């Protein structure tokens, strides 16, 4: 008994184009699903705040949250880039603090020295990032250990450096005035963070270098085979990340006016939490700058709400830790696996309904 088989579709047939379109849409759905939780979290935070602490949603409170969330967002963007290569960076607090103290020491309270201090802060951060990159990307040492050690080295050098100028010295007045200004009713720090977010988004999506960088994170072996300089990308990402930390440190110094050596302790786990909650894949490759920045705003808003509720510092740490664990539980990788499972189940049901499911019964 002969069994009739359908003729294979020609490469240019409409069926082939329809299949490619469906596959493209499915891929977009799977990739986009990993970034949904952060926006759900923001919506839930707004609902809870509206019920229990509505004062945190008024214009004054939101203007206060915006620069703090933006500072966390800027450091989280740098951490996100590192995570996209499959790495981690624990030198963030040290780099942020050093940049802030350089604005005090090199700035010397003079508005005419602001830009010189900014250049020195960025250059020192680049050196820190270069050291991290060479040790991790060049010598293939463990990123966790290297960056933790580098953070300690930078912290020690910063403490030594601040002994060279009077205690409670202030940043140049022009810097503190700038951070205290309002642009469309919001601190310029927020707009810098938003601009940096959009810049990184455009670079990753629309430039050849950005697409190659994502390829290095997703599959460094394959990227190396096609000629991408994997090691160079891994080194440069730590340099770029460190410079984003310095940008945050510069603006944080202006916001505080009299920064101290403990100003950046919250930037150890905060940026990692924002990147993970924002959907970054800890195995590398996939991340969204916009979702990462949104996650930072969520964490800043959550912190503000806990303070408004009068929770003690200890309880704030507990809640913050639970949120980080929750972010890991609903991380982008888990979301993607869940969506893929649902899509496969749906495809099997559809094929069974149209009679295209392969029969498991023995053929005569």
Picking from 74, 126, 97, the residue whose alpha carbon sits closest to that of residue 275 is 74
Tell me the whole-structure pTM to 2 decimals.
0.84
Separation between Cα atoms, residue 159 and residue 165, nearest integer Å: 11
Please report the pLDDT score of residue 203 as a whole number: 95
Residue 218 is predicted with a pLDDT of 77
pLDDT attached to residue 10: 47
203: tokens are: 């670079």
> What pLDDT score was predicted for residue 92?
97
**Six-digit token string for 130:** 């270069």
Please check whether residue 216 is in contact with residue 230, taking contact to mean a CB–CB distance below 8 angstroms: yes
Q: What is the pLDDT of residue 299?
A: 92
pLDDT at 57: 87
Helices (H), the chain: 14-33, 36-52, 59-84, 92-105, 114-133, 143-161, 173-180, 188-206, 208-218, 220-225, 230-256, 270-277, 289-308, 313-329, 332-353
Q: Please give the full DSSP string across 120-171, using - where no structure is assigned.
A: HHHHHHHHHHHHHHIIIIIT---HHHHHHHHHHHHHHHHHHHGGGS-TT---
Per-residue model confidence as pLDDT tens for the chain (364 residues): 444 444 444 444 444 555 455 555 555 555 566 788 889 889 999 999 999 888 888 888 899 999 999 999 999 999 999 999 989 999 999 999 999 999 999 999 999 999 999 999 999 999 999 999 999 999 999 999 999 999 999 999 999 999 988 878 899 999 999 999 999 999 999 999 999 999 999 999 999 889 888 888 878 888 888 888 889 999 999 999 999 999 999 999 999 999 988 899 889 989 998 998 898 888 887 889 999 999 999 999 998 888 888 877 777 778 777 877 777 676 555 555 555 566 666 666 676 767 655 544 555 5
Give the pLDDT score at 153.
97
For position 314, what pLDDT does the model report? 79
Eight-state DSSP code of residue 10: P
pLDDT score for 115: 96
Q: Which residue has the tokens 């499911």?
A: 357
The structural domains of the chain, ordered by start, are 36-333 (1.10.3470)
Give the pLDDT confidence score for residue 175 in this predicted structure. Answer: 96
Scan for tokens 């991408």, then name that residue: 228
Predicted local confidence at residue 83, as pLDDT: 94
Q: Where on the phi/psi map is residue 126: left (φ > 0), alpha (ψ -120 to 50), or beta? A: alpha
Residue 214's CB is within 10 A of a number of other CB atoms, namely 20
pLDDT of residue 3: 43
Task: State the pLDDT at residue 286.
Answer: 82
């Amino acid at each position: 008994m002969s069994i009739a088989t359908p003729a294979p579709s020609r490469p240019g047939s409409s069926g082939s184009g329809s299949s490619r379109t469906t596959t493209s849409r499915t891929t977009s759905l799977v990739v986009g699903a990993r970034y949904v939780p952060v926006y759900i979290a923001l919506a839930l935070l707004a609902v809870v705040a509206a019920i229990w602490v509505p004062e945190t949603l008024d214009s004054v409170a939101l203007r206060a949250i915006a620069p703090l969330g933006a500072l966390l967002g800027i450091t989280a963007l740098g951490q996100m880039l590192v995570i996209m290569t499959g790495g981690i960076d624990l030198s963030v607090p040290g780099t942020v603090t050093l940049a802030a103290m350089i604005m005090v020491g090199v700035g010397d309270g003079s508005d005419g020295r602001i830009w010189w201090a900014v250049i020195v802060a960025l250059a020192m951060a680049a050196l820190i990032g270069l050291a991290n990159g060479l040790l991790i990307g060049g010598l293939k040492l463990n990123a966790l250990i290297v960056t933790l050690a580098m953070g300690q080295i930078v912290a020690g050098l910063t403490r030594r450096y601040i002994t060279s100028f009077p205690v409670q010295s202030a940043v140049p007045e022009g810097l503190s005035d700038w951070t205290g200004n309002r642009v469309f009713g919001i601190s310029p720090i927020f707009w810098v963070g938003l601009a940096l977010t959009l810049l990184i988004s455009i670079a990753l999506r629309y430039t050849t270098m950005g697409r190659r960088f994502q390829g290095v994170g997703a599959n460094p072996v394959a990227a190396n085979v096609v000629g991408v300089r994997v090691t160079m990308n891994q080194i440069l990402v730590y340099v770029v990340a460190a410079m984003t930390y310095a940008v945050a440190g510069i603006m944080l110094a202006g916001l505080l006016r009299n920064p101290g050596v403990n100003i950046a302790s919250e930037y150890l786990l905060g940026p990692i939490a924002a990147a993970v909650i924002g959907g970054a894949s800890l195995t590398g490759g996939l991340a969204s700058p916009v979702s990462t920045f949104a996650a930072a705003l969520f964490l800043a808003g959550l912190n503000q709400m806990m303070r408004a509720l009068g929770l003690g510092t200890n309880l704030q740490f507990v809640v913050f830790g639970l949120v980080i664990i929750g972010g890991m539980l609903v991380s982008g990788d888990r979301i993607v696996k869940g969506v893929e499972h649902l899509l496969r189940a749906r495809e099997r049901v559809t094929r069974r309904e149209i009679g295209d499911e392969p029969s498991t019964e023995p053929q005569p």
